[in-house]
Chains A and B, each alone.
Chain A
């Protein structure tokens, strides 16, 4: 007698009435399918949390190193829009959770209605976001973009060289630095770079140059950091200084002088809210799909897991915004 003998009368097709249509062939019971799905979606949600964790890490590091940038630049964000978005998302989470409950109870029309409201809340959220981004565009506070002249400054007029040796050495240095991949350093490339050297080569690094008396001089070849794409220069600052009272804050907030590199804050702001916005859009499409399936009658009290799992995804989107709101909009004035 072997352990596994010839197969008994086909068990696979016997499941007629206790293997309902929605039950996949490799699961024994609906409970097993539901539990597996729940475990699966929670694992996926942990990956979403870890995806955003990188951005939270960047936020933490830059805020810890440059609290003045965050304290200043966040005033350009409108915290009332942020608060409105928070309330909208919380409300949508509530309607979503209620929608899952309705699906579990077989209340089809109510479920479709609630999912519709959730979807509408998503639209409201994206509209408010669009208004905020439009404000930034109006104020020219945007990421530099691929053709910005901020990241790749245009070549200025060549500074006159003191003597031929220095001109030759700086040309060599330029050629070497170009090869090293520092595209921003590509100044004028003279043909002298490829000719055989008449004088012995003195190796200078990217941060040194040879002065006329043969002494190596330390000089940073790293391009100077600009103010950034915010369009904020000190003259404009005086006219358009973020007045916390005008934005609804208390007059107790002291707005100091504009710090350098405010674009760091806005880069992080756009990355975090942009990625979050993409997830809101993805969540909205999932909700629309599940709405359609509910309307079509795919779900019942015995099988509602797609609604449940899409709901979980939507709640994670809300969860991330719950943290984004205070971190980006409500920094306060702790220096």
Chain B
């Protein structure tokens, strides 16, 4: 069933109805609130970086970033009111990104114990190739 067929047949005047156009309109107050929330979260994320959570530094930073991103995607990008299929596409994309990054990490993780960090002798070389620092 094509939902588009009937519309123009039955009500050819649809297109002239102002503001009942083709999309949902976001209330301005909601936009302001989301903006406020995003600014607050930015301040929070900078503040959190000044505190040392140990191993959880990355987790905290990413969690706040995910909340900010969700606000942008749901409200600024309208996903809250769009057809569910669009959300499926977006989530699907994120799943594939996650798949890619996690398997690459899994692979390199197997070799992590043999990675040479700063204790490696012989990797550090002389400095004649480097430019002198500007004054």
Binding site for B on A (CB under 8 A): 17-20, 27-32, 34-35, 38-39, 42-43, 45-46, 49-50, 53, 56-57, 60-61, 64-66, 68, 79, 83, 86-87, 90-91, 93-94, 96-98, 101, 104-106, 138-140, 149-150, 153, 224-227, 231-233, 235-236, 239-240, 249-250, 252-253, 257, 259-261, 300-305, 308, 311-312, 315-316, 318-319, 322-323, 325-327, 329-334
Interchain CA distance A224-B82 in the complex, whole Å: 55
Residues from chain B with Cβ under 8 Å of A83 in the complex = 42, 46
Residues from chain B with Cβ under 8 Å of A235 in the complex = 127
- Say yes or no: B61 contacts A332, CB within 8 Å: yes
- Say yes or no: A332 contacts B77, CB within 8 Å: no
Residues from chain B with Cβ under 8 Å of A227 in the complex = 124-125, 127, 130
B15 CB, min distance to chain A CBs, angstroms: 5
Interchain CA distance A315-B28 in the complex, whole Å: 17
A243 CB, min distance to chain B CBs, angstroms: 15
Given contacts A87-B39, A90-B38, contact A96 B76 (CB under 8 A): yes
- Say yes or no: B35 contacts A38, CB within 8 Å: no
- Size range of the chain B interface in the assembly: 35 or more
Residues from chain A with Cβ under 8 Å of B76 in the complex = 93-94, 96-97, 311, 315, 318
Given contacts A149-B129, A226-B125, A308-B23, contact A322 B68 (CB under 8 A): yes
- Say yes or no: B4 contacts A29, CB within 8 Å: yes
Interchain CA distance A79-B49 in the complex, whole Å: 10
Given contacts A104-B23, A301-B21, contact A326 B72 (CB under 8 A): no
Partner pick for B61 among A97, A236, A239, A326, CB 8 A cutoff = A326
Interchain CA distance A297-B124 in the complex, whole Å: 63
- Say yes or no: A64 contacts B105, CB within 8 Å: yes
Residues from chain A with Cβ under 8 Å of B131 in the complex = 140, 231
Beta-carbon contacts of B21-38 to A below 8 Å, as 1s and 0s? 111011010011011001
Residues from chain B with Cβ under 8 Å of A38 in the complex = 82, 86
Residues from chain B with Cβ under 8 Å of A330 in the complex = 45-46, 48-49, 61
Interchain CA distance A104-B104 in the complex, whole Å: 44
